Amino acid sequence: MIANFDAERALRLARHTLQIEADAVSALASRLTPAFTQAVQMILGCTGRVIVSGMGKSGHIGRKVAATLASTGTPSFFVHPAEASHGDLGMITRDDVLVAISNSGETAELLSIVPIVKRIGAGLISVTGNPASNLAKLSDAHLDGAVAQEACPLNLAPTASTTAALALGDALAMAVLDARGFGEEDFARSHPGGALGRKLLTHVRDIMRTGNGVPQVRESTPLAQALMEITRKGMAMTAVVDPDGHAIGVFTDGDLRRLLETPRDWRTIPIGEVMHRNPHVVNQDRLAVEAVQIMEANRINQLLVVDGDGRLVGALHIHDLTRAKVI
């Protein structure tokens, strides 16, 4: 352990850092001007891409802002300003909007590409801590990210200022998201590998059991034979179908237990006499989460899957939904 480490001092500094950054972000709200709504409108009207750029720590923030925009419905990517001066400027077209991030507003690498960006006709939004800076003055819309002080004890390392820039970028992305009407299904399409993507993009037909994996018998089938079908298919139930393949009933293990309590020779009873008519079903084209809702609402673990005409095309067990990580 370092000899002069003071745990209490470290905690005080951490709390002080968090308070400074929280105050910096809180102060941004009162300084939002019509320039913010102008920036939102510029992005909404952009027919190309939103390019984000910044040097050093501002560049790291810019990458995150670009990623947030891209994942919430606004095509966006990051361009390093120094690389832009050496060829990457060709990525920017007149249909694009450039979001330039610089705390000082005087970053040489950014200012060197601004004239070209303006000449080709691309829009320019800046996020700076100095409204009087050259970058702010040259912008079509300027967002004020000034902070009273950095959280760094030396007031040198970008800390509160980068937090403020990130918060403004998030605010911009959320305002654009809302204006676009970007919803959960849109988000899922941008995040197909995530939990929400699986829930919102997985359809019943993607995970249902089909063909020989679906237990099914006719209404006249003796109960003993139906039980063999239940055992073979391992779903603790069997569907009952009519001659045209329509799902007209279901019989489960639970029904069997209740039936055994009655004093009669149940082995030869036709399944049609003891099945549940009008079974719960779900269409194969519905989302898997809707199948979950039906199961939960009716406290069942299996569900018959039908097509648009009510014909049996598959079956779902709660374990199928668990394996697919829908639940």
Provide the pLDDT for residue 155: 80
Mean pLDDT of 124-132: 96
Interatomic CA distance for residues 18 and 58, integer angstroms: 19
Mean pLDDT of 198-204: 73
Query: Do residues 157 and 219 share a domain?
Result: no
How confident is residue 199, by pLDDT bands cut at 50, 70 and 90?
A: low
Q: Which domain holds residue 241?
A: 204-323
Of residues 254, 261, 259, the one with CA closest to residue 235: 254
Asked if residue 191 is part of any domain, the answer here is: no
Asked if residue 142 is part of any domain, the answer here is: yes
Query: Do residues 158 and 210 share a domain?
Result: no
Provide the pLDDT for residue 63: 96
Asked if residue 197 is part of any domain, the answer here is: no
Provide the pLDDT for residue 248: 96
What's the domain count of the chain?
2
Instruction: Read off the tokens for 77.
Output: 């990517």
CB 137 within 8 A of CB 106: no
Lowest mean pLDDT among 46-55, 172-181, 256-265, 275-284: 256-265
Asked if residue 165 is part of any domain, the answer here is: yes
Q: What per-residue string of b and e applies to 212-227 under the rule 16 or more CB within 10 Å gives b?
A: eebbbbebebebeebb
Asked if residue 105 is part of any domain, the answer here is: yes
Report the predicted TM-score, pTM, of the whole model to 2 decimal places: 0.64
Domain edge (last residue) among 150, 182, 214: 182
